[in-house]
Amino acid sequence: MARDGPVPVLKGAVFFAIMTYEGLRVARDTEERVRQKKSPLWPVYYVGQEVITALRLATEKTLGQ
């Protein structure tokens, strides 16, 4: 569903937001379901973790030089 505003934060949940030409698209599930690969969102979560790690490593290298 397209959203024009923020989505409420839920304790224990992970949240994904993607900007499209139609507006903001959001998805949310519990972190437990995502980590156990019981959620259809689990691939997005794991790819996102890889992106976060790559950004952290790149930032550390930049700050360390």
Domain region containing 6: 2-64
Could you give the number of structural domains in the chain? Answer: 1
Edge to edge, the sheet with strand 23-30 lists 2-3, 23-30, 13-20
pLDDT in tens, 6-62: 677 889 998 888 888 988 888 889 999 999 999 999 999 999 999 999 999 998 876
> Is the pTM higher than 0.75?
no
Exposure string of 26-55, with b = 16+ CB inside 10 Å and e = fewer, is: eebbeeebbeeeebebbebbeeeeeeeeee
